[in-house]
Amino acid sequence: MFHETSPKSRIKVLLVEDDADFSNVLGISLHASQETSFETETAPTLQEALRLLREQPFDLVLLDLGLPDSHGIATFDRLAEAAPHTPFVILSGVDDETLALTAVKKGAQDYVVKGSADRKILVRILKYAVERHEQKKQVQELNERLEKLSFLDPLTHLLNRRGLQRVLSRELHISGREGSNLVVILLDLDNFKPVNDTFGHAVGDIVLQEVAKVLRNTARATDYVSRVGGDEFIILLPNTRPAEATLFSERIRLAINRSPVVSSGGQVIKTTASLGVVNVAQPRLSIEKLLEETHMALAKSKQLGKNRITFGEGLEKRPEDVLEILKLGLCFRSVKQPIWDLAQEKMVGYEFLTRTNIPGFEMPDEFLNLSQENNILTLVDHRCLEVSMAASHGIPAQCEKHVNLFPSTMAGLQPEYFDRLFPPGNLCGNYYVEISEQQILGDPSYLLGVVNQWKKRGVRVAIDDLGFGRSSLESLIVLQPDVIKIDKKLVKGVSHDKGLREMLRRLLNVVASLNAKIIAEGVENRQDLEVLKSFGVQYAQGFLWGEPA
């Protein structure tokens, strides 16, 4: 039964008819309808109808199959191909009813014999045709969504076993045809059962969702990520060389290791994972057989103490090579990101950031976390600072120059290292050393001595990443920074997130009394920029002005 959604619905009709008198009469009849507003446009030939369908959308095509340039069912076929998502009603003569029925069997919604239907019946036929077509489209879309959902894990929205089997079969076929490697990673969370036992399954589900998010964000566009049950995940890496698989696996392990989950009670749930990595080549491999192969490698990782990677035959087994390259220090380069004065819309300085040329470990989060896990962070941090300082020497003296240093590195700096970086008598007033607030552990007073040494030489201090997770005012009060940098998580999207705006406003009110310059990080669009300016933030940096170069 047809239900109108408004007092007077509107239907836009393309009338394909070469009889001008009939077209005029039909148009007048439709326009006289009280319950539906019809807008009609007439095409006397097939070519004219095709042109109109290319240029504009129609809700319905009312079609005469006998046209000057086309006749019979071929007329319907051409137009249906041009407008596959538009419903058709056929105009038929008494002698052409069989032809009209053929069109209905091929997809037309209905047919009308010319002169046999009064206006009310015609209007009802056209309205029903539009409604049936819309209902059919909704059913098709629903079926497509259900089909898609049948391949996804409902908790994490990653591929489930069925979805994984589908892509596995396809990728094995491609791998066999092209002779390329298909690498499979089986990942299992370490000590996940105690999380469920201690915090409950609701928190356990949150942990699984957060891990899924990390895997999605770390995987490449060509990879497939799936949850195959419990706390086990499988990642397919098509066309991946052994060395690439080694580096990628290490990136995955580190990414999970540095992504703790905070429970509603404020408790930090630290998560690690063990990985088994194998190269597969069997053309008709099932998920069960795949799990059997990868579980052998995974079991070895668990036996060796967890939070480890074990590689199958034919894959690189030495991620330690990355550590050796980092120790040598020849892999580093510096990029700079401009800092802008918002009031004057001009660049006032740069932050110098370090990158490496090691594939898979180019970014700081990747190589610094690996360094921290293997107790070479201080050495690598020194390398990064030296590379940044060398790059800064080419910048005009009046520009601000921001470099980064870990608090743990700062605490152990020796006077001779100060002298080498900033010789006595050197004018260092435009240098800022940035300390990440999230990396200051415990009482920040252990940094006070070295901060005072920086300041005596004219080097200023910035507290970075304020607003990230567990911010503490203690570090701001004790260290009295010259600059406070607001973390991008409080900046990105602030223009359309009322809650985020309120959080940022409160934070700015708190730090306003500290007499420090404020720089907002992570500005990516003009809308967020305008909010920052309205809050009185004077300086900012971010991709709005380009990526670090």
**Residue range 478-536, pLDDT digits in tens:** 888 899 999 888 999 999 999 899 989 998 888 888 888 999 999 999 999 999 999 99
- Categorize the per-residue pLDDT at 264 as very low, low, confident or very high, splitting at 50, 70 and 90: low
The DSSP string of 229-263 is ETTEEEEEEET--HHHHHHHHHHHHHHHHT--EE-
pLDDT of residue 404: 92
DSSP symbol at 404: E
Q: Where in the chain is the domain with CATH 3.20.20.450?
A: 323-545
Q: State the virtual CA torsion across 278, 281, 282, 285 in degrees, nearest 10.
A: 50
Laid out side by side, the sheet with 36-43 consists of 36-43, 9-16, 60-64, 88-92, 110-113
Amino acid identity at 394: G
Q: Where in the chain is the domain with CATH 3.30.70.270?
A: 161-317
For the chain, how many helices (H) and strands (E)? Answer: 19, 22
Q: Where in the chain is the domain with CATH 3.40.50.2300?
A: 9-148
- CATH of the structural domain 161-317, one choice from 3.50.50.60, 3.30.70.270, 3.40.30.10, 3.30.565.10: 3.30.70.270
Q: Calculate ∠ Cα 469-473-476, nearest 5°.
A: 115
Within 10 A of 268 (CB to CB), how many other CB atoms are there? Answer: 10
Q: At the fourth CATH level, which superfamily is domain 9-148?
A: Response regulator (3.40.50.2300)
pLDDT of residue 143: 66
Q: Are 385 and 420 in contact (CB under 8 A)?
A: no
Query: Is the domain 323-545 a CATH 3.40.50.920 member?
Result: no
pLDDT digit string (tens) for 431-477? Answer: 899 988 778 877 888 888 888 888 887 888 888 887 755 456 778 88
Beta bridge partners of 352: 336
- Residues of the chain with pLDDT > 90, as a percent, come to 29
- Residues of the chain with pLDDT > 70, as a percent, come to 91
Helices (H), 304-348: 320-328
pLDDT of residue 78: 92
User: Is 168 a residue whose pLDDT tops 50?
Assistant: yes
Q: Say if strands 232-238 and 60-64 run parallel, antiparallel, or are unpaired.
A: unpaired
The pTM of the full predicted model, rounded to 2 decimals, is: 0.57
- Taking the C-alpha atoms of residue 435 and residue 521, their distance in angstroms, rounded to an integer, is 14
Nearest to 13 by CA among 25, 1, 26, 3: 26
Instruction: Supply the mean pLDDT for the chain.
Output: 84
Question: What angle, 0 to 180 degrees and rounded to 10, lies between the N-to-C axes of helices 20-31 and 119-149?
Answer: 80
pLDDT of residue 3: 43
Secondary-structure breakdown of the chain: helix, strand, coil percentages, each rounded to the nearest 5: 45, 20, 30
Burial class (CB in 10 A: 0-12, 13-18, 19+), 126: buried
